[in-house]
Structure 1
Amino acid sequence: MLTPQWDTPGGKALGDRMVAFVQANAQELGLDHAIWRQTMHNADGSSSGMEDRGDPNQNHFNHVHIASIGGGYNGY
């Protein structure tokens, strides 16, 4: 999900809230992982840093990458 004004404190806070939401609702959403600001956030709440891929897009600074297990939300 593209994060508006990702390079401002407000944009970072928004992305942080998105990651916290999907982690808090991981089971219901079928979350596998989210990537935000060069960090892999797992469904179990753990996280780990990632290597530098060279630019804000590839390092997931300008968007939150969300990956689901088997198609995602159970209702769809």
Structure 2
Amino acid sequence: MTQPVPPVRIGDRVAVTATLTDPAPLTVGMTGTVYWIGNWRNEWTRQIGVRWDDGRHLVLLPGDPFRVIGSADSNALQQNA
């Protein structure tokens, strides 16, 4: 069964909370910014595109361990401060 995906929006900051099943996984604690969200019509399109702070562009899939650490709204406020 697929884990529920935390609500996420473009511009949100996310962090990896456990090891990902990937040939070259991101480290636990790695952070990045959501730049793309799949259309969620089926299992193959349930993807969240993230620009990771180490320069990688790697999508999160259903069941990947992550959490939202900052909202798009709070990020916009910080950039305009």
TM-score after normalising by structure 1:
0.23
Question: Going by fraction, where is helix more abundant, 1 or 2?
Answer: 1
Question: Going by fraction, where is strand more abundant, 1 or 2?
Answer: 2
